[in-house]
Amino acid sequence: MGERFGRRVPEPTVVRLPVYQRVLHEFARKSVSTVSSAELADACGINAAKVRKDLSHFGTYGTRGTGYEVDYLLGQIQRELGLDLERGVVMAGMGHLGHALARSEGFVAGGFRIAGLFDVEPGTIGEIVAGIRVSHVTELASVCRQEHVSIGIITTPAAAAQDVCERMAGAGVSAILNFAPTVLSVPPSIQVRHVDFSGELQVLAFYQAHPEAAAGRSEAVARLGS
Amino acid sequence: MGERFGRRVPEPTVVRLPVYQRVLHEFARKSVSTVSSAELADACGINAAKVRKDLSHFGTYGTRGTGYEVDYLLGQIQRELGLDLERGVVMAGMGHLGHALARSEGFVAGGFRIAGLFDVEPGTIGEIVAGIRVSHVTELASVCRQEHVSIGIITTPAAAAQDVCERMAGAGVSAILNFAPTVLSVPPSIQVRHVDFSGELQVLAFYQAHPEAAAGRSEAVARLGS
DNA sequence: GCATGTGAAGCAGTTCACAGCG
DNA sequence: CGCTGTGAACTGCTTCACATGC
């Protein structure tokens, strides 16, 4: 039966949900009506036991002997991820990276709407990016409150990140996605995820330089003749 | 004594190395000569035991009763990360994100050099980005071989990612950083890391929608009066 | 017969707590 | 006396293996 909610969900499981969502969407597009945990696992580059355990946290059930109905499972996962309701996000730091992310399809795909874009450069303020006018960062708080924004994205240089972070925290933002290469200090009530481009490259380089340090990396094998 | 090499290094430890590197660099810039594991942990948003355990994997030793000498430890970590030698990377997909990343400081900071930029759009090929001329992706293999490139970055749309991935694999690339929102199929000899912008946002949104599902998230507290 | 759902076992990383040493 | 380095305990995710049920 699963746990039909309430209990704790392991973070690795949560991180895999968007992958399942994407892969199931792809199956649906190809008019596949049913998938087994093995097929789904294969398409996600993981193993079948993990898929079943993950799904069991949400009480989502397949049919024994058959597998999962693609449309139904996709709907369940999208509901879990809150893809049905639109979420506003603010982004501070409209350099090259901010521009690129603001224009990315990721926002729409994930059910997000840009509620505000901010910077401090007079040359950037007033510019229209992705249909939104860039405002001065001092206006961040009022926009967040007016539009009930609870998610912030930081794409500023490292030196400005902590300041922006505190503005967001003060404006009621409770989740921050940080692309600046710096560690943020936040109260425990605020959730931070850090994306570190340069760090990821360094990790790859480390394992190349120290192959003996690598474990059973690579799970994303198999699957090719899709 | 540590293990002075040879043994396995846990992936979470490797992921933290770039953070230590950055934070130590900052301490050095402020002319701090010594740090304790507690201070270092604080600045990294983790706990002291983790720092000591991490460093012990490399046999890097501090001084009991005192702590770690910043310059020495920084040097050790940079050596581990291979920051002394320059590494060439190729990037395929010169849309907004590719442009932004190619211009980022992360390459220099991480000891990386762009050996080639690639796309398929006639309008993009020939453009100069970050001082490099964008070439057609069919030239990727020859550039990789000529310049002994072993790291590739994929910033194409999802639909093109697998093709590019196979070109890279065929050209001798053994580590790939994938920004495309898709699961790549690769032989086990190739290491892939996936950065998923939209997925990260969805994870944040999930925990906001399901606070009861959150565990003891947040470790990056404390530290403010730096 | 076949694939799910799940307790139980296994394994990995984190945290504890303290011996060891400057 | 303080802080490192580390075995041991702990916690938590993964994997196994099988009972369950279509």
What CA–CA distances, in Å, run from A151 to A177, A178, B81, B164? 8, 11, 33, 33
Instruction: State pLDDT tens for residues A52-69.
Output: 999 999 987 899 999 999
Instruction: State pLDDT tens for residues B83-100.
Output: 988 999 999 999 999 999
Instruction: State pLDDT tens for residues A114-140.
Output: 999 999 999 999 999 999 999 999 999
Nucleotides of D under 7 A from a protein CB: 1-7, 12-17, 20-22
**Contact call for A45 and B107, based on CB within 8 A:** no
Nearest to A183 among B17, B23, B199 (CB): B23
| Helix (H) or strand (E) segment spanning residue B208 | helix B197-209
Burial of residue A143 (CB within 10 Å: 0-12, 13-18, 19+) is: middle
- C-alpha A8/C-alpha A199 separation (Å) is 30
- C-alpha A117/C-alpha B56 separation (Å) is 43
Percent of chain B whose predicted confidence (pLDDT) is above 70: 92
Q: Is the CB of B50 under 7 A from strand C?
A: yes
**Residue range B22-27: average pLDDT?**
98
Instruction: Give the model's pLDDT for residue A216.
Output: 62
**Contact call for B112 and A201, based on CB within 8 A:** yes
3-state secondary structure of B37: helix
**Residue range B150-174: average pLDDT?**
98
Amino acid, res. A55: L
Please determine, for residue A193, whether its predicted confidence score (pLDDT) is greater than 60: yes
Measured from the Cβ of residue A26, the count of other Cβ atoms closer than 10 Å reads 17
- C-alpha B81/C-alpha B62 separation (Å) is 19
Instruction: State pLDDT tens for residues B164-185.
Output: 999 999 999 999 999 999 999 9
Phi then psi for residue A28, to 5 deg, are: -60, -40
Task: Give the confidence band of A214 by pLDDT, cuts at 50, 70, 90.
Answer: confident
Percent of chain B whose predicted confidence (pLDDT) is above 90: 86
Protein residue closest to D16, using CA and C1': A49
Any idea what the Cα angle at residue A37 is, between residues B196 and A15, rounded to 5°? 25
